Amino acid sequence: TSREKAASIKLMTDQQKEFQELARKFSREEIVPVAAAYDRSGEYPFPIIKRAWELGLMNSHIPEDCGGMGLGIFDSCLITEELAYGCTGVQTAIEANSLGQMPVIIAGNDFQKKKYLGRMTEEPLMCAYGVTEPGAGSDVAGLKTRAEKKGDEYVVNGQKMWITNGGKANWYFLLARTDADPKCPTSKAFTGFIVDADSPGILVGRKELNMGQRCSDTRGITFEDVRIPKENVLIGEGAGFKIAMGAFDKTRPPVAAGATGLAQRALDEATGYALERKTFGKLIAEHQAVSFLLAEMAMKVELARMGWQRSAWEVDNGRRNTYYASIAKAFAGDIANQVASDAVQVFGGNGFNSEYPVEKLMRDAKIYQIYEGTAQIQRLIISREHFGRFKK
């Protein structure tokens, strides 16, 4: 019967359940207890990152022939959501690896993949995605970092900003302008490079002190006559913009999953508190003002989860998922902020205080509406995709 069929449909394979259990156990036992301390000190959580690397929870997208596990986006999102539940600062540091690696995974040749992805599975190394500049974030076409071809090398000059893992990376994916002609279309003017972090001329800025995800390492990076061998160009001169944007279809679902993990944590903390705290003679959970708040939080968390699941499933099944990835990221980022703020509200005065876990969640949540494509950029993408579908 259709009812029996519905009951037998598995939402996840057994292996996926095991992955999720491993990530959940690691997150609850090893990340949660130390997250507050890392938030206060801002120290890079390398011990946790190393542990996650040892357990195979990082670098999940690296293809098997480079020593990785070649997991799909859905599987890695399952892991990401669990890690984010523990601390999104830790999870962002880990996720930045996937973001930096994605251009190489989708556009690298065998030599580049073996060299730069292979090393990530041999030791716990970090990498970074270097696109944003002080003067250009959303407007990628406005990038000013220049790469000039000189013989067998490119000489790079410019500045990047807000680079996650900027001070810890072993190598960067770099997007720079190779065609100086302002009339050159965006689709041809930029080139993607892999840059070794120890290249002479790279000046790593100070660790930026941010509102949230404070243990994540975010820096400005200056390039002064940095020489990159032509072997490190991805695909070819002028192909950079498409590569940089193409990576997002695969990295936005995990970012959405991260925001969902944070929201789930906020919901769980608020629910636990509501079932303990009493006011006006009963548990605050028994007051409808609070229970309705929690109900709406639960709605948002479940829907955000379905958002990343759909977008991950689409791309894993070989379809262009831009529309879904954008919706997932936009929605999850927005609700993470709402749910974290509501969690502080449920905790009342205690929520505003650093002895309780929810104020950190509110500070950590904000960046989800900004990085990996702002909430506004996502709306631009979604409306464009939406009109495109409508016109068909």
Partner 1 sequence: YIVTIRVKPDHSGVVTDGVKHSMNPFCEIAVEEAVKLKEKKFIKEVVAVSCGPTQVTETIRTALAMGCDRGIHVEVSGKDYEAMGPLQIAKIFAALAKKEEASLVILGKQAIDDDCNQTGQMTAALLDWPQGTFASEVTIDGEKVKVVREIDGGLETIKISMPAVLTADLRLNTPRYATLPNIMKAKKKKIANMKPADLGVDMVSRVEVLRVDEPPTRLAGVKVETVDDLVAKLKANGTI
The reply, when asked if residue 270 is annotated as ligand binding, is no
Q: Give the pair of three-digit tokens for residue 299.
A: 């709605």
Which residue number, 26 or 371, has a Cβ lying nearer to partner 1? 26
The reply, when asked if residue 129 is annotated as ligand binding, is yes
Least Å distance between CB 332 and partner 1? 24
The answer to whether 154 and 230 have CB atoms below 8 angstroms apart is yes
Tell me how many degrees the CA angle 38-42-44 measures, rounded to the nearest 5: 80
Residues that bind partner 1 (CB under 8 A): 14-15, 18-19, 22, 25-26, 54-57, 60, 69, 79
Least Å distance between CB 388 and partner 1? 38
The reply, when asked if residue 260 is annotated as ligand binding, is no
Rounded distance, CA 251 to CA 325, Å? Answer: 9
Which residue number, 79 or 256, has a Cβ lying nearer to partner 1? 79
Rounded distance, CA 95 to CA 254, Å? Answer: 8
Rounded distance, CA 233 to CA 43, Å? Answer: 34
Which residue number, 29 or 224, has a Cβ lying nearer to partner 1? 29
The reply, when asked if residue 42 is annotated as ligand binding, is no
Q: Which one from 21, 95, 372, 385 is the annotated catalytic residue?
A: 372
Which residue number, 61 or 366, has a Cβ lying nearer to partner 1? 61
Which residue number, 66 or 163, has a Cβ lying nearer to partner 1? 66
Least Å distance between CB 353 and partner 1? 25
The answer to whether 112 and 82 have CB atoms below 8 angstroms apart is no
Catalytic (active site) residue 372: yes
The residues near 382 (Cβ < 8 Å, ≥ 6 apart) are 323, 326, 327, 330
The reply, when asked if residue 354 is annotated as ligand binding, is no
Q: Where are the alpha helices (DSSP H) in the chain?
A: 2-8, 14-26, 32-41, 46-54, 73-86, 88-107, 110-112, 118-122, 186-189, 240-274, 288-316, 322-347, 358-365, 375-391
Please count the other Cβ atoms lying within 10 Å of the Cβ belonging to residue 183: 6
The reply, when asked if residue 34 is annotated as ligand binding, is no
Least Å distance between CB 150 and partner 1? 43
Give the torsion sign (CA, 291, 295, 301, 304): negative
Of the candidates 276, 298, 269, which has an alpha carbon nearest to the alpha carbon of residue 361?
269
Please count the other Cβ atoms lying within 10 Å of the Cβ belonging to residue 345: 16
Least Å distance between CB 178 and partner 1? 38
The reply, when asked if residue 323 is annotated as ligand binding, is no
Annotated binding site: 129-138, 162-164, 277-279, 287-288, 345-349, 374-376
Question: Can you say which residues are annotated as belonging to the binding site for FAD?
Answer: 129-138, 162-164, 277-279, 287-288, 345-349, 374-376
Give the residue numbers annotated as catalytic, written as ranges. 372
